[in-house]
């Protein structure tokens, strides 16, 4: 008598995407309330990174609005220098976002390994990231948390911006005031609470560039108040042997990004054009960079795991409720759910990049473009705020609560306290 086996469940690939559409592979990352693992689409065989967020933990950390906002923002974005959203869905326990898979690891991982990076490598990353940031700014999106941890390399070594958990739309005539980001990378105008726009991303790029080049950040402090004072007041000091490490053009570029005067900061006047015309990038073929036709100066080792292997062990040994595909409970009345759970049901909508067009938050001009980022920052909002993100964007500081999301040691490679507007 032959052995009997269970009949495999039929998967409806034409229906709404869910976890049954994917093979679950190894765990590669873990955040404050979310985890990341590699998955493979069962039909297309494409590999992706699955970011999944436990609903209960999300509610407990008061991060529901941020997660929904991240999901909304990612639906608008598609760039070769960003980890793009491909699918989004939820079950009764988790929210899921399926993103481009980057097998090269993040810059924090590589910085911890090497201590610092060669000038030509950092120049390449700055060029690619400047293109990515300029793209976001033209969509009137400010990332607010650029740091080595949030830059992922693909298997060839190209840089991609990730983690849009505290990214937000900005209205040029309505500066943001909430303190959000990782303190060590925050621009002075954020800490001074004077109001800010997308210019803060160029400062963060400057801090990160300095750190990649010299293995330490330009502004430090043993306490949060000391770090804040340093960012607001201290002069940017380079190592004594800086001339033997990097070129004068490199130093000038980093200084330009770390200019406290926003009107003089590199990137704030003409966006990407400031970088294209800077001497540090002389001779660089920007068209080839944008098309990813230039071979990166550093290629991650494909034979080694470019991430912390302990995530896989934790998933195997410590997880009491391992991730698996589950059918949703049918017939649930959303009105009976707790407010945050209902908000997730109603606003964390499914997305399939093969079936849906990416939507825009703002109505575009007739020619379909804002022009340069600097033109966008000088223009009035080109549409209504009827579809305003759930995170508060108004100027009343009393309406904005500040939550500490992640604490790090500001004297080490850790990024310092991370704040989000809730």
Is residue 51 annotated as involved in ligand binding? yes
How crowded is residue 38: how many other Cβ atoms within 10 Å of its Cβ?
A: 19
Q: Which two tokens stand for residue 310?
A: 């302990």
Q: Which two tokens stand for residue 119?
A: 């000038």
Backbone angles phi, psi at 159, to 5 degrees: -90, 140
Residue bearing tokens 């490679």: 413
How crowded is residue 334: how many other Cβ atoms within 10 Å of its Cβ?
A: 10
The active-site residue out of 18, 106, 145, 149 is 145
Distances (CA, A) of 139 to 56, 99, 260: 32, 20, 24
Q: Which two tokens stand for residue 393?
A: 């964007």
Q: Which residues pair with 419 in a beta bridge?
A: 181, 404
Q: Which two tokens stand for residue 190?
A: 């954020």
Helix (H, G, I), strand (E, B), or coil: what is residue 95?
strand
b/e per residue 253-262 (b: at least 16 CB within 10 A):
bbebbbbeeb
How far is residue 80's CA from residue 29's CA, in Å, rounded to a whole number?
A: 22
Give residues with Cβ within 8 angstroms of 335, minimum separation 6.
342
Which is nearest to 54 in space by CA: 316, 310, 320? Answer: 320
Is 145 known to be catalytic? Answer: yes
Q: Which residues are catalytic?
A: 145
Annotated binding site for ATP: 51
């Amino acid at each position: 008598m032959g052995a009997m086996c269970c009949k495999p469940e039929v998967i409806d690939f034409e229906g709404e995407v869910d976890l049954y559409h994917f093979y679950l592979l190894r765990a590669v990352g873990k955040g404050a309330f979310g985890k990341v693992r590699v998955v493979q689409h069962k039909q297309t065989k494409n590999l992706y990174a699955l970011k999944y967020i436990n609903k209960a933990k999300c509610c407990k950390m008061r991060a529901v609005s941020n997660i929904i906002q991240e999901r909304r923002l990612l639906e608008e974005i598609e760039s070769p220098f960003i980890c793009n959203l491909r699918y989004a869905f939820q079950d009764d326990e988790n929210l899921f976002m399926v993103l481009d898979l980057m097998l090269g690891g993040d810059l924090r991982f590589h910085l911890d390994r090497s201590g610092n990076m060669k000038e030509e490598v950092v120049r390449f990353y700055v060029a690619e990231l400047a293109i990515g940031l300029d793209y976001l700014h033209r969509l009137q999106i400010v990332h607010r948390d650029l740091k080595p941890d949030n830059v992922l390399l693909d298997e060839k070594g190209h840089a991609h911006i990730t983690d849009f958990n505290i990214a937000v739309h900005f209205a040029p005539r309505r500066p943001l005031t909430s303190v959000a980001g990782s303190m060590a990378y925050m621009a002075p105008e954020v800490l001074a609470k004077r109001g800010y726009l997308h210019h803060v991303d160029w400062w963060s790029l400057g801090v990160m560039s300095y750190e990649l080049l010299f293995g330490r950040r330009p502004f430090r402090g043993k306490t949060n108040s000391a770090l804040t004072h340093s960012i607001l007041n201290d002069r940017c000091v380079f190592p004594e042997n800086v001339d033997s490490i990097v070129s004068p053009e490199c130093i000038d570029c980093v200084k330009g990004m770390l200019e406290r005067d926003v009107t003089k900061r590199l990137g704030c006047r003409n966006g990407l054009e400031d970088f294209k015309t800077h001497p540090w990038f002389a001779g660089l073929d920007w068209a080839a960079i944008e098309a990813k036709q230039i071979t990166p100066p550093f290629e991650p080792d494909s034979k080694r795991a470019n991430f912390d292997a302990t995530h896989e062990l934790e998933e195997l040994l410590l997880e009491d409720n391992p991730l698996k595909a589950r059918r949703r409970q049918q017939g649930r009345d959303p009105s009976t759910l707790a407010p945050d759970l209902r908000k997730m049901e109603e606003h964390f909508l499914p997305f399939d990049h093969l079936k849906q067009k990416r939507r825009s938050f703002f109505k575009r001009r007739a020619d379909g473009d804002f022009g340069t980022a600097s033109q966008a920052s000088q223009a009035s909002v080109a549409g209504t705020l009827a579809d305003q993100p759930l995170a508060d964007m108004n100027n009343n500081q009393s309406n904005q609560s500040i939550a500490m999301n992640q604490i790090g040691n500001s004297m080490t490679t850790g990024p310092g306290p991370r704040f989000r507007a809730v």
